[in-house]
Structure 1
Amino acid sequence: MRRHPCLVLSTILSTLGLALLPPSTASAAAGGDLAYVAIGSSFAAGPGIPSVQPSSPAGCARSTNNYASVLSRDLGAALVDASCSGATTANVLTTSQAGQPPQADLVTATTRLVTVTIGGNDVNYLGSLGAYSCQDSGSSGCGTVDTAAIDRAFGELPGRLRAVVERVRERAPQATVLLVNYFTILPDSAVCTGVPLTSGHLAYELGIASRLAAATSDAATATGAHVVDLASASHGHDACAADPWVEKYVVASGKSSYHPNATGMRAAAHLVESTLDDLAITSTGPVRSAFPGKCVVAPAAVEGTAIELTDCADSANQRWTRVTAAPEGTLRALGGCLDVKSSGTANRTAVHWWTCNGTGAQRWVPDARGGLVNPQSGRCLDLPGGASANGTRLQIYDCNGTAAQRWTTAG
């Protein structure tokens, strides 16, 4: 998707509120892309999912494949990942953690998208779940669960979540704020091997999950934020399911007990993308040629597969998603991106399907003549020689406004 020039003047960085960020993060946030800040606890950070972000503070355990990272690659967004394992709403609002300032401080006036997954640690969700699992497995040194303290915290949680949204809005009035609630961890009834809970403890933890989702929904209603209902979407993908999106209590070395796995994070990212479609921040549909009845197709989700022209059909390999809110990002289908081969910039460089990777070879911006410009090269998506036959392979070429370069996208 996109790489961005660095702003090197410290006065500019201070104005944008980026002075405390690592250089790579500051550069991305200062660029001209869809500026995205991810806020949250471990269910946003992704501990145990390879690999750890190079800039992740010790203890935060941010994964390069958490849902924010997947989403930013898909959309071509400039991500500032503020999430940190163990975070509470206080770590978003007022209290530093792992050497970084409160997470909301990383939101700036240029931020246009903020996702928030927070609140579970306020009510000791994973702590109580781990303690009960330890107890019910017959282990020692398990600790206790203070249910009265949890009840008190739930009384305060809706107000804390509202304060998070309000703080984000103060710092970024134009940002879309999405409250992404927590994955469903546990099955509705019987548990399984690796999830050692009595029926009473299972019922209690399901109650915490339900109350946490309700508090998130209440905060969204009160503030006008939008809920991404991951709790509902992940129902049936609990730790005991055939296709789990979260780990069990008993996990392999390096994994994180009762936390999302890589499959779950990809599903969460796609759910956020669907929400952005609904909010008209992204749109999904065919890329139609000026030649009647012809559309852009990705024949296969295999890196290096040439992008072609073909008869329009309602098929997954012709449904392309793009960012509609300026500035635009990628065009993606089948989980990958429309990419200029080898990041080439010369006329007649081929265009193919490639894994979304954050380079300028994957950025496409509409121009006034109906073209799709790749800003890195300054050239347009093109049909060689104006050919319109099925199987014609696309390329980039000097923008000229001809039918060979006019495209209509969704949104």
Structure 2
Amino acid sequence: MPKTKRRIRRILRLAPVLALLVGCGVALPLPATAATSGASPADGPEYVALGDSYAAGYGLTQPTDRPVAACGQSALDYPHLVASSLGLDLTDVSCAGATTADIVSTRQHGADPQADALGSQTKVVTVSIGGNDAGLFSTASKCIAVAKEGPVISSGASSCRSALVTDGVDSLAAAIDGHVTSGLRSAFATIASRAPQAKVIVVGYPAIFPDAAHTPAAGCFRPVVSASTLTDGLPTNGFPFTATDVKYLSGVQNHLDDALRSATKAAGFTYVSTLAATRAHSGCATSGSYMQGITLIASAGFSDISLQRGALHPNAAGARFLAAQTGAAVAAALAPTASPSPTSSPTGSDGFTIDLGWIVFGGILVVFAVIVLLAWRGITRARADRR
């Protein structure tokens, strides 16, 4: 076989090999994709839940007796639901009645400060706190009225607002602007210090009281005592607040939500506000409510009267709603950062994106062009030799 023909055949045999090398990007390593990354631990990322009764699921069934039985924590609270849904390794130290001080340093009911549950391996933290610092919940329970127009049982005043707002000074708003704000700042700084690797989600309070748009024309009042109480027993699931106090306490919740949002932003955390989305499901709602109403429990002869556990706290539907909102935020916070596309490189200085796919394609064309050129030269020489 003439040398020229052998040379041509060798060149042509190289074509698929060269094309394969260029197409695979040999000598041009690409970023690893998510498929090559390490798997998550079997028990999931470490998740610590902090907070008060709204985080603890106070009043719900299935008590956990953690961190101590007096905390009233439930296995149906939103942290447990979130952990179960996302496969997280949960440590839930939320406790009914907790304040920001109980996160930082106070031993509530003998339990360790909640921040002691945090550590360098904590990956996500949720916290619902601040309502007890403001005195909102204890105040609301003292605003129970005898009738739609009052008076309030605890004070005999026509409304709670008349006692809480004097000379134009709102005592609850002042508490939020002062004590609550400073407490949140301290608690959030402690969380950031104790869990430096964690994504922190602050979960706001759902609506206890409706806004004007979700307040019925006839008002929200549902009594907790009635003329037939002695014979028929106490009513259940009441909402015994005057129209004045419903409007006032709804505004206080707005103020607290704003304070929580501001403190969360200042700390660099993520805020989940649940207030607006639950206005239609407040304690005022007679159906579809996310909030337990007020039921009084009386001893024989009515010598002792107390509130049933869970009054003005999320019911099971409310806990599920909080879990859905919080779970979405937690999932987003834990989502891995997207890897760069394996077929593209950063945009050039002129704004033109340099795509490696086009580079590879161009390389293949060049290789084939060279092969064709060499083959053509070989054929030309072979013809010349015959002459």
Does the CA-based 8 Å contact 2:208-2:312 persist in structure 1?
yes
Q: Does 1:274 align with 2:331?
A: no
Give the equivalent residue in structure 2 for 1:247. Answer: 292
- Distance in 1, matches of 2:283 and 2:125, equals 28
Shift of 1:275: 1.6
Q: Does 1:172 align with 2:210?
A: no
Unmatched runs of 5 consecutive residues or more in structure 1? 1-29, 283-323, 326-411
Q: Does 1:263 align with 2:317?
A: yes
Does the CA-based 8 Å contact 1:185-1:238 persist in structure 2?
yes
Q: Which amino acid aligns with 1:62?
A: Q
Q: Which amino acid aligns with 1:191?
A: C
Match of 1:89 among 65, 77, 100: 100
Does the CA-based 8 Å contact 2:206-2:278 persist in structure 1?
yes
Give the equivalent residue in structure 1 for 2:119. Answer: 108
- Distance in 2, matches of 1:40 and 1:277, equals 20
1:59 aligns to what SS in structure 2?
helix
Matches within 5 A, 1:268-347: 268-279=322-333, 281-282=334-335
Shift of 1:58: 2.8
Does the CA-based 8 Å contact 1:41-1:84 persist in structure 2?
yes
1:179 aligns to what SS in structure 2?
strand
The Cα offsets for residues 159-192 of structure 1, whole Å up to 9 and x where unpaired, read as: 3212212111101111000110001111223314
Q: CA, structure 1 residues 77+108, in 2 after alignment: closer, same or farther (shift >3 Å)?
A: same
Q: CA, structure 1 residues 251+262, in 2 after alignment: closer, same or farther (shift >3 Å)?
A: farther
Greater Rg by CA: 2
- Distance in 1, matches of 2:282 and 2:173, equals 25
Shift of 1:135: 5.9
Does the CA-based 8 Å contact 1:251-1:257 persist in structure 2?
no
Matches within 5 A, 1:11-410: 33-134=44-145, 140-141=153-154, 149-156=171-178, 157-188=180-211, 189=215, 190-193=219-222, 194-241=238-285, 242-250=287-295, 255-279=309-333, 281-282=334-335
CA RMSD of aligned residues (A): 2.5
The Cα offsets for residues 203-238 of structure 1, whole Å up to 9 and x where unpaired, read as: 221121011100100011111110111112222111
Does the CA-based 8 Å contact 2:144-2:240 persist in structure 1?
yes
- Distance in 1, matches of 2:171 and 2:106, equals 21
Moved more, 107-116 or 192-201: 192-201
- Distance in 2, matches of 1:31 and 1:171, equals 24
Does the CA-based 8 Å contact 1:134-1:142 persist in structure 2?
no
Shift of 1:104: 1.2
Shift of 1:139: 7.2
Runs of 4+ in 1 over 4 A off after TM superposition: 134-149, 251-255
Does the CA-based 8 Å contact 1:45-1:84 persist in structure 2?
yes
Q: CA, structure 1 residues 111+31, in 2 after alignment: closer, same or farther (shift >3 Å)?
A: farther
- Distance in 2, matches of 1:131 and 1:223, equals 33
Q: Which has the higher helix share?
A: 2
Does the CA-based 8 Å contact 1:36-1:114 persist in structure 2?
yes
2:253 aligns to what SS in structure 1?
helix
2:317 aligns to what SS in structure 1?
helix
- Distance in 2, matches of 1:175 and 1:131, equals 38
Question: What's the TM-score, normalizing by structure 2?
Answer: 0.61
Higher RCO, Cα 8 Å, sep 6+: 2
Count of residues in Structure 1 that have an aligned counterpart in Structure 2: 254
- Distance in 1, matches of 2:112 and 2:239, equals 36
- Distance in 1, matches of 2:260 and 2:171, equals 19
- Distance in 2, matches of 1:151 and 1:234, equals 22
- Distance in 2, matches of 1:128 and 1:208, equals 11
Q: CA, structure 1 residues 200+138, in 2 after alignment: closer, same or farther (shift >3 Å)?
A: closer
Q: CA, structure 1 residues 110+264, in 2 after alignment: closer, same or farther (shift >3 Å)?
A: same
Does the CA-based 8 Å contact 2:81-2:320 persist in structure 1?
yes
Does the CA-based 8 Å contact 1:135-1:142 persist in structure 2?
no
Does the CA-based 8 Å contact 1:246-1:260 persist in structure 2?
yes
Q: Which has the higher strand share?
A: 1
- Distance in 1, matches of 2:240 and 2:101, equals 31
Shift of 1:141: 4.8
Question: What's the TM-score, normalizing by structure 1?
Answer: 0.57
The Cα offsets for residues 228-276 of structure 1, whole Å up to 9 and x where unpaired, read as: 1111222211112221111112378964110111111111111112223
